[in-house]
Amino acid sequence: MSDISGIVGKTNVAPLLVESLARLGDRRGDSCGWAILDEEMGIDLRKGVGAVEEVAGQFDMISAQGQLGIAHTRWTTHGGVSPENAQPHLSCDRSFAVVHNGIISNHEEIRKGLRDRGNHFFFSDTDTEVIVHLMEEVYQPGLSVEQAFARALRCLEGTFAIAMISAHEPRKIFCTRQKRPLILGIDSETKFVSSDINAFLPYTRQAVPLDDGEYAVLLPDGYWIKDIATGDERNRQVTEIRPQGDQEADLRFGWRTSHS
């Protein structure tokens, strides 16, 4: 069990990411971390074992610079509790970072195939890490990151909510859902994605829930949603989250809140 969060804006997002982790961290996961992307410096990864406040202080998470990032707090399902198994995970070339909630049921098959090619080194025992190596394998000159992301998603089996960033396109967050909750938070110059609306409620009550089999691409001033299988764009109404919550809507959209 884990929670994920992502933010893309026009100013530094590190303080917001730390806050989003803290708001998700009341479940007291066994590890946490985040990856922030700076267009000049690349992906800055900081993660460790322990509660959010402990890890954030140890690695001075709030000091990083970048206008987009992803974060994760984890309860162990695959692999033991260790810094290596904490998320996010990086690809070998450090061009992709990913966070994931759920179970990739065919991760052993994917891992074996990538290892047999001899181009990938795995640093954890988690099912999540196969996603970034698969992205590194699929991404080729001539393909956009979005196209590679959709191709990689079609290889995954199981249940998942995923958020990914890439140094190849450093102003976008890529995310998807399959039988795990994932919600977009919409503000005029900042976009959020999370498995729990509590991660962004202080900043916006405008939300768009993803459906199973969909992925979204977020930029500071826009977003779009597409079907994984067909690539067709989906039109989705923005929903106003009620201040006191609406249990029926929460259950319908798969939202998890402190009052549901």
Q: What is the pLDDT of residues 189-211, one digit of tens each?
A: 999 999 999 999 999 999 999 99
Amino acid at 9: G
DSSP-based three-state secondary structure for 89: strand
Query: Residue 251: its pLDDT value, please?
Result: 38
Query: Residue 245: its pLDDT value, please?
Result: 45
pLDDT digits over 151-163, tens only?
A: 999 999 999 999 9
Chain centroid, CA 12 distance in Å:
18
Query: Residue 236: its pLDDT value, please?
Result: 87
Query: Residue 25: its pLDDT value, please?
Result: 60
Q: Per the domain annotation, does 175 fall within a domain?
A: yes
Query: Residue 257: its pLDDT value, please?
Result: 43
The tokens of 160 are what?
């998942």
Q: Per the domain annotation, does 260 fall within a domain?
A: no
Query: Residue 258: its pLDDT value, please?
Result: 37
Query: Residue 28: its pLDDT value, please?
Result: 54
For residue 88, say if its preceding peptide bond is cis, omega within 30 degrees of 0. yes
User: What's the CATH code of the domain at 117?
Assistant: 3.60.20.10
Query: Residue 79: its pLDDT value, please?
Result: 56
The tokens of 113 are what?
């195939």
Q: Per the domain annotation, does 105 fall within a domain?
A: yes
Q: Per the domain annotation, does 259 fall within a domain?
A: no
Q: Per the domain annotation, does 38 fall within a domain?
A: yes
Query: Residue 80: its pLDDT value, please?
Result: 72
Query: Residue 117: its pLDDT value, please?
Result: 83
The tokens of 187 are what?
């503000």
Domain holding 45, by residue range, is 2-253
| Cα(168)–Cα(231) distance, integer angstroms | 21
In total, how many domains does the chain have? 1
For 252, residues 6+ apart whose C-beta sits below 8 A from its C-beta are none
Query: Residue 119: its pLDDT value, please?
Result: 79
Residue 198 and residue 23 in contact, taking contact as beta carbons nearer than 8 Å: yes
Which parts of the chain register pLDDT below 50?
A: 245-260
**pTM of the entire predicted model:** 0.90
The sign of the torsion formed by the CA atoms of 66, 69, 75, 79 equals: negative
Tokens 């900043």, residue located? 203
